[in-house]
Amino acid sequence: MPARTSRDVVVLRTPRGPSALRMFCPVVGGVASRHDLPVDRLDDLLLALETLLAGETQGQGELILTISVLDRRMLLRLDGLLSQSVKAALERDAPARERGDWLPDVRVLLDSLLDAYHVVDGSADSFAVEMEKRAS
C-alpha cells in the first residue's frame, strides 16, 4: 500500500484543566485511525500527551493541540503549557538534575515514547512541545 500524505491539519482548543486530555484523546485517535497509525504507536502518543498534561495546573487560558500527518509521521504540537519545571526537564541542553519528584521521568518517558520532540517558546510564560511519531 502506498504511503498516504496529508496536508490536513486539525486544531483543537480547550480550556486548561482536567478535561483537556478527555478532549484530545478521541481527536488524536480519529486522525491516527484515518492514517492507519498502529494502535501501539497511538498509545505512545496519548501517553506522551498525558505525561505533559500531568505537570500542568488548572487555571486561566487554554491549551491548543495541532495535529497533522505527513509521510507516515504523525506530528503533534501542544501549545499553552505553563510548567517551567517541565520545560526545564525537557530541554535537551538542560543538565540532568536529580529531584525528589517525577520531573526527570518526563524526559525519560518522552524519549522512550516519541521518535522526536522539542520545546518551543510560546507567548509570555507559555511554551509548546512539538512531537513526532512515525507509523512504522
Residue 114 lies in a domain: yes
In the chain, count H helices and then E strands: 4, 5
Tell me what pLDDT residue 93 has.
Answer: 58
CATH number of the domain to which 85 belongs:
3.30.565.10
DSSP letter string over 100-131? Answer: SSSHHHHHHHHHHH-SEEEEEE-STT-EEEEE
Residue 3 lies in a domain: no
Is the pLDDT reported for residue 84 higher than 60? yes
Q: How would you list the strands of the sheet with 62-70, edge to edge?
A: 9-15, 62-70, 73-81, 127-134, 116-121
Q: Tell me whether residue 45 is exposed, middle or buried, using C-beta atoms within 10 angstroms of its C-beta: 0 to 12, 13 to 18, 19 or more.
A: buried
Residue 89 lies in a domain: yes
Q: How far apart are CA 53 and CA 81, in angstroms?
A: 8
Q: Convert 69-88 to b/e letters by CB count within 10 Å (16 or more is b).
A: beeebbbbbbbbbbbeebbe
Q: How far apart are CA 45 and CA 128, in angstroms?
A: 15
Q: What is the pLDDT of residues 15-71, one digit of tens each?
A: 988 789 999 999 999 999 998 899 999 999 999 999 999 878 777 889 999 999 988
Amino acid at residue number 131 = M
**Number of domains making up the chain:** 1
Amino acid at residue number 87 = K
31 is in which domain, residue-wise? 9-134
Amino acid at residue number 125 = D
Is the pLDDT reported for residue 3 higher than 60? no
Tell me what pLDDT residue 100 has.
Answer: 45
Q: What's the mean pLDDT in 85-99? A: 68
Is the pLDDT reported for residue 95 higher than 70? no
Tell me what pLDDT residue 7 has.
Answer: 62
Tell me what pLDDT residue 50 has.
Answer: 93
Range name among 7-21, 41-55, 88-102 with the lowest pLDDT average: 88-102
Q: Mean pLDDT in the chain? A: 85
